[in-house]
Amino acid sequence: MNMGDTDIKPDIRMVRIALLIALGVSMHLVESMIMLPIPIPGVKLGLANLATLLALYLYGVQDGILVAVARVFLGSLISGLFLSPAFFLGLGGGVFSTIIMGLFMRWRCFTVVGVCIAGAAAHNFGQLLVASLLLKSSAVAYYLPFLLVASIPTGLFTGFAMKPLLLRLKRAGILT
């Protein structure tokens, strides 16, 4: 019979997810301070996606969504934008992007770079969708071509940042 604290098995999954959420939040805060040389509003580096992506690779779509949503909640609470339009945009874009990335992950023909690009495009598209619902106007569609094109460099950036990371994780046996 096991009693007391010797029975408590460390739940690595919970710990890792918590860390990933923390990582996502801090990335989110950092990248909102970086001004990109791209003249379109709402274009971010997508660093926070890295955390979501790791969650996806490690534990699958459900936990990926968990990390994405938690990241948006915590991030907006910290920056004081909770329940603001930006909050809903981040939520919409984040969830949609996570689902899309989870999908692309399964297709062998894409590397992590492709996954990231798809994720960035989906994130932007998701945000536009939410924005058009919030503003009750289709005028935001105006930004679509630009956001689509902008997802390429940001996706490439995150994808190439992930590559060595994934390699390391594979070597360390954490990833299959």
Catalog residues that contact another protein under the rule CB under 8 A: 37-40, 107, 109-111, 113-114, 117-118, 121, 141-146, 148-153, 156, 160
CB of 129 to another protein, least distance (A): 14
- Sole residue written with tokens 């939040």: 25
For residue 52, give both structure tokens.
């979501």
| Structure-token pair, residue 93 | 């874009």
Q: Which is nearer to another protein, 19 or 38 (CB)?
A: 38
Tokens standing for 33?
Answer: 């301070």
DSSP state of 37: S
3-class DSSP assignment, residue 38: coil
Are the beta carbons of 166 and 172 closer than 8 angstroms? no
The Cα–Cα gap between 158 and 44 comes to 11
Q: Residue 19 or residue 153: which is nearer to another protein going by CB?
A: 153
Q: How far is the CB of 53 from another protein (least distance, A)?
A: 15
Q: How far is the CB of 97 from another protein (least distance, A)?
A: 14
Give the number of other Cβ atoms within 10 Å of residue 42's Cβ.
Answer: 17
Closest to another protein by CB, 43 or 95: 43
In the complex, the smallest distance separating the C-beta of residue 120 from another protein, rounded to whole angstroms, is 9
**What's the closest the beta carbon of residue 8 comes to another protein, in angstroms?**
44
Give the type of residue at 144.
L
* Residue number, 12 or 141, with CB nearest to another protein: 141
Residue placing its CB nearer to another protein in the complex, 77 or 107: 107
Give dist(CA 1, CA 148) in Å, integer.
59
